[in-house]
Amino acid sequence: MRRQRYAKIIATLGPPTSGTDAIERLFLAGADVFRLNMSHGEHEDHRRRYKAIREVESRLKRPIGVLVDLQGPKMRVGRFTSGKVLLKAGARFTLDLDSRQGSESRAPLPHPEIFQAIEDGTDLLLDDGKLRLKVLAHGEDWAETEVVTGGMLSDHKGVNVPGVTLPISALTAKDREDLTFALDLGADWIALSFVQRPEDVAEARRLINGRARIISKLEKPSAITHLDDIVGLSDAVMIARGDLGVETPPEAVPILQKRITTTARRAGRPVVVATQMLESMITSPSPTRAEASDVATAVLDGADAVMLSAETAVGEYPFEAVAMMNKIIDRTEKDEHYEDVVRNRGHAPVRTSAGALSAAASQVARTIEAAAIVTFTSSGSTALRAARERPTVPILCVTTNVGTARAMALVWGLHNVHTKGEVASFHHMVIQGCEVARSEEFAPPGEQIVLIAGVPFGTPGTTNILRIARVEGEADHTPRM
């Protein structure tokens, strides 16, 4: 089976969508990658979901990607004597390391790193930005604040410190345990939360040691300061608009989304747009028009994938949400202006021989009206280069590495095919490319395809051959070149 669209869909699994049948329904509705959120659920819950995903993969004979999203350091206030308090604007309110339950005048904040980083005048945002405090004075274990925006504050609500780089790692002790679990499980992608600086990505890469690919979640303003370096060190990035929207003004988020997407596309890194894309479909069978427009905007910006969170993890209409996102993407990509907006806004080819060849493949495919571009790759680099160019035809990613086939499910325009036998020669590559293009229903007999690969075969990172071939009938395995 093949998708009739280029942008991909990531669906988060939760209690209502954990079984094999539910996961199969989500995949058939349009999900390409499934997200396991380590902020919720036990390891055994996620193990069962992973096993179910692989059962669906085997049943449908399509590579499916699995993304494990680490929780990251979550800053939260402690508990209150009555469970919640009302903070009034203009009142004084103290935060400290004292573990006693809080009151209307103080609350425990068990994060010494916050007190180390703040200064007088620093703003603190509580409960996803609903409440705002301004630091008047502080010490190494306390901060006296003024309530700027008041409201009800209850146990364990989150704390954000906008504009401040906190002296903490992006990986907590829990994250390290979850990371070990995810790698042993066989995750294809690891989403790294709370990335503030390039060193956070480098630390994760040392721990992962090539066993999975890294998605850096961009949700802190400090990450934007180091955007180019973080993108360069990552295998992909995610625009996590939830926390990003808390710590930056709402009017800045759309601009940041476009800036991150442009930076990632220029670098040839897949980019995911996430958070509240079809939020109303948690409880409604249809989205708002604004949400539909939001998804379409991400597609028009050239995002590789869009993500559903609570919509499929705990929502009442998970299958409808995926189907709706599929319809929005499909309709957007079929619009007559899509090519002008996405493809003609392309970036200059990467100044390497592999980059030049990938750009040439896109141009050749367009000029001869080829049915598809067929890439042969072991690591996925050839397919990623082809996808960066946003060609006018689908891209087949042919690989003997099942991990590569699964991971590339997240990437724009790629239809991934896991083959058993290694390509033994250039002639064999052409024959196999034509057979795959025909059997996967991308190129009927008589159509032309463009093939790109790296020689020596099986060597990661090489893209140095381009060939045009014409697909012949099933009985004739000798393509014309």
Return the half-sphere exposure (C-beta side, CA atoms, 13 A cut-off) of residue 365.
Answer: 27
pLDDT score at 420: 87
Q: How far apart are CA 39 and CA 257, in angstroms?
A: 24
Catalytic: which of 76, 130, 197, 211?
Answer: 76
**Coil, strand or helix at 100:** coil
Q: Which of 49, 132, 217, 269 is catalytic?
A: 217
The confidence score (pLDDT) of residue 307 equals 98
Q: Assess contact for 109 and 149: CB atoms under 8 A.
A: no
Q: Which band of pLDDT confidence, cut at 50, 70 and 90, is reported for residue 423?
A: confident
- Largest separation between any pair of C-alpha atoms in the chain: 82
Q: Determine the Cα–Cα distance for residues 147 and 149; give it in Å rounded to an integer.
A: 6
Q: Tell me the pLDDT tens digit for each residue of 317-335.
A: 999 999 999 999 999 999 9
DSSP state of 76: B
Q: What SS3 state is found at 270? A: coil
Please state, as a whole number, how many other Cβ atoms lie within 10 Å of the Cβ of residue 166: 18
Predicted pLDDT of residue 444: 94
Position 346 confidence tier, pLDDT thresholds 50, 70, 90 = low
The pair phi, psi for residue 383, each rounded to 5°, is -65, -40
Q: What is the mean pLDDT of residues 300-313?
A: 97
**pLDDT beyond 90 at 462:** no
pLDDT recorded at residue 473: 74
Who contacts 24 (Cβ-Cβ below 8 Å, separation ≥6)? 56, 59, 60
**Rounded-to-integer distance, Cα 320 and Cα 291, Å:** 14
Confidence of residue 23 (pLDDT cuts 50, 70, 90): very high
pLDDT digits (tens, 9 = 90+) for 122-149: 999 999 899 999 999 999 999 999 999 9
pLDDT given for residue 372 in this prediction: 97
| pLDDT tops 60 at residue 185 | yes
Q: Please name which of 250, 222, 251, 308 lies closest in space to residue 12, comparing C-alpha atoms.
A: 308
Q: Which residues pair with 396 in a beta bridge?
A: 374, 415
The CA distance from 36 to 46, in Å, is 7
Known catalytic residue at 134: no
- What letter does residue 339 receive in the DSSP assignment? I
**DSSP code of residue 320:** H
374, 450 contact by CB (below 8 A): yes
**Alpha-carbon distance values, 395 to 281, 406, 412 (Å):** 32, 15, 9
What band does 343 get if pLDDT is binned at 50, 70 and 90? low
Token pair, residue 26, equals 């989500």
Give counts: helices (H), strands (E), the chain.
17, 21
Task: Say whether 35 is catalytic.
Answer: yes
Q: Which domains are assigned to the chain?
A: 8-73+170-336 (3.20.20.60), 84-160 (2.40.33.10), 353-470 (3.40.1380.20)
User: Is residue 225 annotated as a catalytic residue, yes or no?
Assistant: no
d(CA 283, CA 129): 23
Residue the block writes with tokens 């109303």: 280
* The Cα angle at residue 94 between residues 92 and 95, in degrees rounded to 5: 150
CB 244 within 8 Å of CB 223:
no
- Pair 256, 224: CB distance under 8 Å: yes
Query: Strands 65-69, 33-37: parallel, antiparallel or unpaired by DSSP?
Result: parallel
Contacts with 456 (C-beta within 8 Å, 6 or more apart), sequence order: 462
What percentage of the chain exceeds 90 in pLDDT? 84
Question: What does the pLDDT read at residue 192?
Answer: 97
Catalytic residue among 35, 49, 62, 265: 35
**Per residue in 38-54, pLDDT tens?**
999 999 999 999 999 99
The answer to whether residue 451 scores a pLDDT higher than 90 is yes
Residue 472 makes CB contacts below 8 A (sequence gap 6+) with: 434, 445, 478, 479, 480
Show Cβ contacts of residue 328 under 8 Å, excluding neighbours closer than 6 positions. 292, 295, 296, 299
- Predicted confidence at residue 345, as pLDDT, reads 65
76 belongs to the catalytic site:
yes
What's the pLDDT score for residue 427? 86
Residue 51 has what pLDDT? 98
Local confidence band at 344 (pLDDT 50, 70, 90 cut-offs): low
Cα dist from 103 to 84, 139, 154, whole Å = 8, 20, 10
Nearest Cα to 33, choosing from 67, 7, 56?
67
Chain-wide mean pLDDT for the chain? 93
Closest CA to 239 of 260, 255, 254, 221: 260
Q: How far apart, in whole angstroms, are the C-alpha atoms of residue 473 and residue 446?
A: 8
What are the CB-based long-range contacts (under 8 Å, 24+) for 170-175? 170/72, 170/73, 170/194, 170/195, 170/196, 170/200, 170/203, 170/204, 171/70, 171/72, 171/200, 171/203, 171/204, 171/207, 172/71, 172/72, 172/73, 174/38, 174/71, 175/38, 175/70, 175/71, 175/72
pLDDT attached to residue 265: 94
| The two three-digit tokens of residue 303, written as one number | 């995002």
Looking at 154-226, list the stretches that DSSP marks H as alpha helix, in order from N- to C-terminal side.
173-185, 198-208, 221-225
Out of 94, 275, 312, 404, pick the active-site residue: 275
Cβ-count burial 75-106 (b if 16+ within 10 Å, e if not): bbbbbbeeeebebeeeeebbbbebeeebeeeb
